[in-house]
Amino acid sequence: MEPATATRSTTSDDIPDRTHFYVDGAWVAPLSTETIAVENPVTEEVLATVPAGTPADVDRAVAAARAAFPGWAATPPADRAAALGRLHAALAGRADEVARTVALELGTPYKIAMRVQAGLPLAVLESFVALAAAPPAEEVIGHSLVVREPVGVVGAITPWNYPLHQVVAKVAPALAAGCTVVLKPSELTPLTAYLLFDAVEAAGLPPGVVNLVTGTGPVVGEAIAAHPGVDLVSFTGSTATGRRIAHLAADRIARVALELGGKSANIILRDADLAKAVRTGVGNAYLNSGQTCTAWTRMLVQRDNYAEAVELAAEAAAGFRLGAPFESTTRLGPLASATQRERVAAHIARGLADGARLAAGGLDAAVPQTGHFVAPTVFADVDPGSALAQEEIFGPVLAIIPFDDDEEAVAIANNSRYGLAGAVWSGDPERALAVARRLRTGAVDINGAPFNPLAPFGGYKQSGIGRELGVHGLAEFQEIKAIQR
Ligand code: NAD
């Protein structure tokens, strides 16, 4: 157990200050006394503090991960799978605590947090328990035996919008592949990551296999990305930071895996079930207050249905009640921080200045007085080249754009520097599939098909490099060796 600390009272729960890092299988004191205050974005009060790490703390964690690597890489797959199974059980026992902590440090409505912020990472971890059990695939190509080996020490740097999922999507496949890990979670939501390490301790994973250092991006994040002892930097977050990390890793030709931003298009063809497509599309755009990299933030509607779609979207938006995470009527929480709220507000103001038509929400709509809230907003008549249609806003802001035919829909959808996700709705599955094939994105959902945690997840273009989840996610953490015989 991490040494006990005082708790600070909040409106809804007590969260302890965290004072240690998890390194080499133990809670260790940081090398500096600096701390980071974690804010509750609903009350704007400090929820708890965590240590602000230094490059020296990173050195210690990387040394532990390096020392643990040969032993973990040589551990039989069945034993690694058993260890991940124990981690899954320990984390499953904390699911309610995870949902509560995400509700407090991010503001996600508790019910949604339970399903998405706790449920999804548990499903992903479970999938890697199964994948870890199978020995790495080997191929014979002519007289060559092609084998897969763990890539080494992984530096994992994660954002705040899905504080456990994005960590698990890196840690689980890395451990399954036989890699060891140093994690730096977002400084906005580090408390959820601490719960994972409580579970790591309870599961009795071997010392050094997975290590935690909290801190800021420019200090701890850069120290990880530039560290000569880190073989792969696996990052999720903004495209700007991804670019910086790729530069740092390039100096020593370290591998990088980047999951970055998106501006995904939801194409609603004339023969679609319009009401369902619009309702599902609005829900997708607003999931987690729009702070989702795959959010379908551009709704493309065939012109005959356009006016009706705008009305339906405005109606749907009005149903997203803003509020505190533990109130049962809340469907939409605040944004993660004051900075994020200001960014989103600036995008809304610019959208109006650029001539888009406000169909719902906006900056004058009523929102709770305290907390970083933005009203669910819908813009119609959005120019596909404007900032509203091109920039990742990361807030509850939907842009609706008309099109005339499939050709034009595909052209508008692909007119983006991003290429993460997308959707197509049509009564004709073949037509929908033909459009889906033409989208330059890493994923497309047809007619609201559900998320598949075993399917590869990642982006084309500036949405990233590499894939997470399932066998493709596992492959990110493996090197390939050809042995000629
Ligand atoms: P960010 O990219 O700044 O932060 C993500 C992680 O990177 C955090 O752990 C952060 O501490 C770390 N980091 C920051 N600067 C770093 C550096 N120089 N070197 C190494 N690590 C560094 O993202 P953010 O500030 O949390 O959010 C900003 C924007 O990023 C959002 O508005 C949104 O557009 C986008 N975003 C995208 C995703 C996604 O899933 N694609 C997630 C979060 C944020």
Query: Could you tell me the pLDDT band of residue 13, with boundaries at 50, 70 and 90?
Result: low
Q: What's residue 14's pLDDT?
A: 79
Rounded-to-integer distance, Cα 104 and Cα 191, Å: 10
For ligand 1, say whether the CB of 157 is within 6 Å of any of its atoms: yes
Ligand 1 midpoint to CA 238 (Å): 4
Tens of pLDDT, residues 148-165 = 999 999 999 999 999 999
Segment 284-291 shows an average pLDDT of: 98
Residue having the nearest C-alpha atom to atom 35 of ligand 1: 238
Domain segments of the chain: what residues? 7-260+463-484, 265-453
Ligand 1 atom closest to the Cα of residue 420 is 41
Please give the model's pTM, rounded to 2 decimal places: 0.97
pLDDT at 394 over 60: yes
User: Among residues 384, 381, 291, which one has the least CA distance to residue 343?
Assistant: 291
Catalytic residue among 259, 392, 468, 476: 259
pLDDT at 443 over 70: yes
Query: Could you tell me the pLDDT band of residue 1, with boundaries at 50, 70 and 90?
Result: confident
Tens of pLDDT, residues 20-69 = 999 999 999 999 999 999 999 999 999 999 999 999 999 999 999 999 99
Tens of pLDDT, residues 454-477 = 999 999 999 999 999 999 999 999
- pLDDT > 70: what percent of the chain? 98
Most informative mutation of 212, 238, 394 for ligand 1 (most atoms within 8 A of CB)? 238
For ligand 1, say whether the CB of 225 is within 6 Å of any of its atoms: yes
For ligand 1, say whether the CB of 245 is within 6 Å of any of its atoms: yes
Q: What's residue 364's pLDDT?
A: 97
Is residue 357 within 8 Å of 379, Cβ to Cβ? yes
Q: What's residue 5's pLDDT?
A: 56
For ligand 1, say whether the CB of 292 is within 6 Å of any of its atoms: no
Record the tokens describing residue 217, joined without a space: 């991006």
- pLDDT > 90: what percent of the chain? 96
For ligand 1, say whether the CB of 52 is within 6 Å of any of its atoms: no
Rounded-to-integer distance, Cα 473 and Cα 470, Å: 5
Query: Could you tell me the pLDDT band of residue 4, with boundaries at 50, 70 and 90?
Result: low
pLDDT at 173 over 90: yes
Segment 414-427 shows an average pLDDT of: 98
Same fold, 7-260+463-484 and 265-453: no
Ligand 1 midpoint to CA 258 (Å): 11
State yes or no: is 293 an active-site residue: yes
User: Residue type for 16, please?
Assistant: P
Rounded-to-integer distance, Cα 272 and Cα 112, Å: 28
What CATH class does 7-260+463-484 carry? Answer: alpha beta
pLDDT at 228 over 80: yes
Q: What's residue 137's pLDDT?
A: 86
For domain 265-453, say whether CATH 3.40.309.10 is its number: yes
For ligand 1, say whether the CB of 217 is within 6 Å of any of its atoms: yes
Tens of pLDDT, residues 69-105 = 999 999 999 999 999 999 999 999 999 999 999 999 9
Q: What's residue 180's pLDDT?
A: 99
pLDDT at 407 over 80: yes
Ligand 1 midpoint to CA 58 (Å): 19
pLDDT at 412 over 80: yes
Catalytic residue among 39, 222, 293, 468: 293
Residue having the nearest C-alpha atom to atom 28 of ligand 1: 238
For ligand 1, say whether the CB of 226 is within 6 Å of any of its atoms: no
Q: What's residue 12's pLDDT?
A: 46
Question: Of 1-15, 213-227, 378-392, 424-438, which range is least confident?
Answer: 1-15
Residue having the nearest C-alpha atom to atom 30 of ligand 1: 238
For ligand 1, say whether the CB of 221 is within 6 Å of any of its atoms: yes
pLDDT at 10 over 50: no
The full length of the chain comes to 485
Query: Could you tell me the pLDDT band of residue 181, with boundaries at 50, 70 and 90?
Result: very high
Q: What's residue 135's pLDDT?
A: 86
Ligand 1 atom closest to the Cα of residue 261 is 41
For ligand 1, say whether the CB of 187 is within 6 Å of any of its atoms: yes
Give how far the C-alpha of residue 466 lies from the chain's centroid of Cα atoms, to the nearest Å.
14
pLDDT at 8 over 70: no
Ligand 1 midpoint to CA 186 (Å): 8
Ligand 1 atom closest to the Cα of residue 184 is 9
